[in-house]
């Protein structure tokens, strides 16, 4: 249950990198949240250097991203707590069935089983709705930051002679890059440039920040789906 309170923030991050070139060139903006993501494609410039960027990591690591995703996490806390309470109630009923089921008469046991099944069905539906709502709100934040980060990336590429920049958000074979050394990675440089332009200060680190697992670049970790075990018949 340790990770349960964060499960709403476990998402399939849907940000289209192909829109960066269009945005910087005055064309169409990234697709609206909820629309099908476009296939990943390179940005081709006039320089001769090649670079990579983890656009998802850049969005989350920016000061603006950290601020807005943390605010969203706090906004979702009441729903998280509500669902945690429902999950705790379900686990209690299942434990009661497992420990006392053989002592109950047939009608009492059938009533308890039915109660568990109804509560489980309602809980699963609410979990799905809450996840979709959280994902939509995260994607809205990400798309907004992406629209403003695109010109920063394009200017950096132009000023530094980059003719090709590839997104490494998705590992191969889902993404286009099979292998790229750290010397090609422009993620930190773009985050720094974006932070300087946005004027958003770095968020204050909470007292518990040191306890966050190393390597975590997102405001919330991968969560474990609440138990959906079918009660014994």
- 0.85 exceeded by the pTM? no
**In this predicted structure, what is the pLDDT of residue 100?**
86
Query: Of residues 123 and 19, which shows the higher confidence score?
Result: 123
Query: Of residues 27 and 126, which shows the higher confidence score?
Result: 126
> What are the tens digits of pLDDT across the range 184-217?
999 999 999 999 999 999 988 765 444 343 333 4
Band the pLDDT of 60: cuts 50, 70, 90: very high
Query: Of residues 41 and 180, which shows the higher confidence score?
Result: 180
Q: What is the CA radius of gyration of the chain?
A: 23
Q: Which long-range contacts (CB under 8 A, 24 or more apart) does 71-75 make?
A: 72/9, 72/134, 72/137, 72/138, 72/141, 73/6, 73/9, 73/219, 73/220
Q: Inform me whether the pLDDT recorded for 75 exceeds 80.
A: yes
Name the residue ranges covered by the structural domains of the chain: 7-198
Mean pLDDT, to the nearest integer, of 8-31?
A: 39
**In this predicted structure, what is the pLDDT of residue 35?**
39
Band the pLDDT of 44: cuts 50, 70, 90: low
Q: From CA 178, how far away is CA 74, in angstroms rounded?
A: 37
Q: From CA 156, how far away is CA 160, in angstroms rounded?
A: 6
């Amino acid at each position: 249950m340790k990770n349960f309170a964060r499960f709403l923030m476990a998402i399939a991050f849907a940000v289209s990198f192909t829109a960066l070139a269009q945005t910087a060139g005055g064309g169409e903006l990234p697709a609206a949240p909820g629309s099908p993501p476009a296939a990943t494609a390179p940005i081709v410039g006039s320089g001769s250097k090649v670079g990579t960027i983890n656009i998802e990591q850049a969005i989350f690591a920016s000061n603006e991203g950290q601020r807005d995703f943390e605010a969203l996490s706090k906004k979702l806390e009441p729903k998280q707590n509500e669902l945690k309470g429902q999950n705790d109630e379900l686990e209690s009923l299942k434990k009661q069935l497992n420990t006392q089921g053989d002592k109950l008469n047939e009608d009492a046991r059938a009533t308890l089983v039915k109660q568990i099944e109804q509560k489980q069905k309602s809980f699963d539906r609410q979990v799905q709705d809450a996840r979709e709502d959280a994902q939509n709100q995260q994607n809205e934040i990400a798309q907004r930051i992406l629209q403003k980060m695109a010109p920063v990336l394009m200017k950096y590429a132009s000023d530094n002679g980059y003719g090709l920049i590839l997104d490494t958000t998705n590992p191969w074979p889902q993404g286009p890059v099979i292998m790229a050394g750290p010397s090609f990675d422009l993620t930190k440089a773009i985050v720094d440039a974006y932070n300087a332009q946005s004027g958003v200060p770095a968020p204050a680190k909470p007292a518990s920040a040191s306890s966050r697992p190393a390597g975590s670049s997102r405001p919330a970790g991968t969560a474990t789906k609440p138990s959906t075990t079918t009660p014994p018949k």
